[in-house]
């Protein structure tokens, strides 16, 4: 039932945006080797972020010289993009954007004269990127480390903005070496665990930094630049927590109360099925603040060069 409602919501929001779409060439279909299986999904996070808060991006904000508020988040996210683009080395022409999100970064890369191809497993994200960039990108549907149609030595730079956390490091580095030309670069902006997680309610997201760097070195990727931007990005977590605790959870509670009055047997059944998980999520979201994030994790811009 939840998946059905989620699909309906996504369809409604997509229909609302249909009238404003430009006429574009048809996006290439998924490569035949891609198998979506149960992991085919329609991520409505970007759709809701755009509708509710006017956000173009899903990534963290870079709050240097900005107030850590929801009103300043779009500017902070744009500052993040500019920081990332400034880290691209000279001599780069062809960029592979892994985990392209809504295509905002890909569009800016194109506007700066780079040739861009994009990878994403989410059909909605890839379609949005295609529209955002005016169909000027190469398209690769699927999970980065499993895609079979990426040409060898086809990129000067592989870019991962908050996508490497979802990629197996060993398989991901193998794919990156396949794609990069000799002397090519891998540019990553993401958060990493910097110490052991000693509480069960803490978010498990992110690779352990020292292990990730060791995997990169073993694969033949030399770390040539490391920039810790944790202080400037961590305030994003306070905004995220405020939205969850101040907006999302109260709405869920109100819907739950209404359901318990009108359909008590359905409410009891759902509580039995999801009550424990819901309690765990509440505990987790109460520990998503910037101080907790900064204690256990760090946000880094990492630039590697293929040996």
Q: How many structural domains are present in the chain?
A: 2
User: Which strands form 155-161's sheet, in the order they lie side by side?
Assistant: 138-141, 115-120, 94-98, 155-161, 180-193, 297-306, 221-228
Averaged confidence pLDDT in the chain: 86
Residue 175 has pLDDT above 80, yes or no: yes
Domain assignment present for 22: no
Q: Name the pTM for this structure.
A: 0.84
Residues 223 and 160 in one domain: yes
Give residue 58's pLDDT.
84
Domain assignment present for 2: no
Domain assignment present for 212: yes
Per-residue pLDDT, averaged over 152-167, amounts to 97
Residues 186 and 93 in one domain: yes
Domain assignment present for 17: no
DSSP per-residue codes, the chain = -HHHHHHHHHHHHHHHHHTTPPP-PPPPPPPTT---GGG-----HHHHHHHHH--S--SPP--TTS-SSGGGHHHHHHHHHHHHHHTSPTT--EEEEES-TTSHHHHHHHHTT-EEEEEES-HHHHHHHHHHTTT-SEEEES-GGG-S-PPTT-EEEEEEES-GGGS-HHHHHHHHHHHEEEEEEEEEEEEEE-S---STTS---S-BHHHHHHHHHHHTEEEEEEEE-HHHHTHHHHHHHHHIIIIIHHHHHHHHHHHHHH-HHHHHHHHHHHHHHHHHHHHHHTT-SHHHHHHHEEEEEEEEEE-
Domain assignment present for 21: no
Give residue 50's pLDDT.
67
Distance in angstroms (rounded) separating the CA atoms of residues 73 and 78? 9
Residues 33 and 112 in one domain: yes
Residues 158 and 263 in one domain: no
Could you tell me the CATH number of the domain that includes residue 55?
3.40.50.150
Residues 157 and 249 in one domain: no
Residue 130 has pLDDT above 60, yes or no: yes
Residues 115 and 188 in one domain: yes
Domain assignment present for 13: no
Residues 41 and 189 in one domain: yes
Residues 226 and 246 in one domain: no
Span 36-49, pLDDT tens digits: 333 344 455 656 66
Residues 190 and 61 in one domain: yes
Phi/psi class of residue 106: alpha, beta or left (left: φ > 0; alpha: ψ in -120 to 50)? alpha
% of the chain exceeding 70 in pLDDT: 84
Give residue 10's pLDDT.
45
Distance in angstroms (rounded) separating the CA atoms of residues 126 and 132? 10
Domain assignment present for 16: no
Residues 275 and 182 in one domain: no
Range of the domain at 199: 28-234+292-306
Residues 116 and 262 in one domain: no
Distance in angstroms (rounded) separating the CA atoms of residues 41 and 154? 29
Residues 227 and 81 in one domain: yes
- Band of the pLDDT at 12, cuts 50, 70, 90? very low
Span 198-226, pLDDT tens digits: 998 898 999 999 999 999 999 999 999 99
Domain assignment present for 9: no
């Amino acid at each position: 039932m939840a998946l059905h409602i989620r699909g309906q919501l996504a369809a409604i929001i997509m229909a609302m945006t249909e009238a404003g779409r430009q006429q574009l060439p048809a996006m290439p279909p998924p490569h035949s080797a891609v198998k979506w299986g149960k992991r085919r999904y329609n991520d409505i996070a970007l759709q809701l972020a755009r509708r509710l808060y006017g956000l173009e991006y899903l990534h963290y904000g870079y709050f240097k010289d900005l107030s850590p508020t929801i009103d300043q988040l779009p500017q902070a996210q744009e500052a993040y993009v500019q920081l990332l683009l400034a880290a691209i080395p000279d001599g780069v022409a062809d960029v592979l954007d892994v985990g392209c999100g809504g295509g905002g970064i890909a569009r800016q890369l194109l506007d700066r004269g780079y040739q861009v191809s994009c990878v994403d497993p989410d059909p909605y994200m890839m379609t949005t990127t295609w529209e955002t960039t005016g169909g000027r990108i190469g398209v690769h549907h699927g999970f980065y480390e499993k895609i079979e149609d990426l040409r060898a030595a086809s990129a000067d730079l592989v870019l991962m903005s908050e996508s490497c956390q979802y990629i197996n490091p060993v398989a991901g580095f193998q794919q990156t070496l396949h794609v990069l030309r000799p002397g090519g670069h891998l540019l990553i902006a993401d958060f990493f665990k910097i110490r052991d997680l000693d509480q069960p309610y803490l978010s498990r997201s992110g690779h352990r930094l020292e292990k990730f760097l060791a995997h990169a070195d073993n694969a033949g990727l030399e770390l040539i630049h490391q920039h810790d931007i944790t202080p400037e990005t961590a305030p994003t977590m306070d905004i995220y927590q405020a939205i969850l605790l101040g907006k999302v959870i109260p709405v869920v509670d109100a819907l739950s109360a209404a359901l318990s009055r009108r359909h008590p047997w359905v409410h009891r059944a759902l509580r039995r099925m999801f009550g424990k998980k819901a309690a765990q999520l509440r505990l987790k979201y109460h520990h998503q603040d910037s101080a907790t994030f900064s204690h256990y994790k760090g946000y880094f811009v990492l630039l590697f060069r293929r040996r």
